[in-house]
Amino acid sequence: MSHYLAERWVDFVRGLLSEEERAAMKRHLDEGCESCRREVNVLQVMRNFAREEAWAEPPADAVRMAQAIYVPPPRRERALRRLLGRLVFDNFAQPAMAGVRQSGASGQQMGFEAGPYYIDLRLEGEPESSRVALAGQIVSREEPGAPLGGLNVVLLAGRKVVAETVSNEFGEFSLEFSAAKNHRLRITLPQEGVQVNVPLAAHSEENPDIAL
């Protein structure tokens, strides 16, 4: 005697078959197939239980107790690999050409390397003001044309956020702030899991007009 698959008996119990197929399967049961009869009995019990469960409303005390017992695990933030910028260029540290006097301009140009990234910065002190304008760009030394837009750029004094912005599609950014001590620039590249830190205070001594 051939038997029907379990999937067909599920459809049989749920009433999803055509009249012709349902009649054929009922004849199979009536002919005395015990294994199929046992399977149908189990499926009918499960169907009845599911119907009753759908209308069941758990007691409010039980719901509160379950909520108190279950504490969702804390969300794990992705650990960022921290890179420290290393000064590789500073126009104020460059010796003047023979016979040429140093300009009194307050603009300071600096370049930093941090792992596979290069950060170009220019700081301009506003005349008769403590305000400083900073313009910069971060690029990949391994993939010079790689887009580095939407990066979070934060200027900190110690742990205090002084100013923040977002880089454009070319990795460029600009900030304006009041000069203070212990400034550092923090650039976060979430897709690469990298955070670049550039200390500025140690490199401002060559330019007395910019007190970082």
- The tokens describing 27, both together, are 């004849």
Let me know if residue 45 belongs to a domain. Answer: yes
Contacts with 124 (C-beta within 8 Å, 6 or more apart), sequence order? 106, 107, 108, 132, 133, 134, 135
**Same domain? 64 vs 89:** no
In tens, the pLDDT along 138-152 reads 999 999 888 899 999
**Same domain? 89 vs 54:** no
Let me know if residue 74 belongs to a domain. Answer: no
End-of-domain residue from the set 38, 69, 100? 69
In tens, the pLDDT along 10-48 reads 999 999 999 999 999 999 999 999 999 999 999 999 888
Residues in the chain: 212
What is the extent of the structural domain holding 158? 81-203
**Same domain? 116 vs 58:** no
**Same domain? 97 vs 195:** yes
Percent of the chain with pLDDT over 90: 48
**Same domain? 63 vs 152:** no
Q: Name the band, by pLDDT with cuts 50, 70 and 90, for residue 210.
A: very low
Q: Name the band, by pLDDT with cuts 50, 70 and 90, for residue 204.
A: very low
97 versus 43: the higher-pLDDT residue is 43
Q: Please give the order of strands across the beta sheet that includes 117-125.
A: 86-90, 108-114, 117-125, 131-140, 172-178
**Same domain? 42 vs 137:** no
**Same domain? 65 vs 158:** no
Let me know if residue 1 belongs to a domain. Answer: no
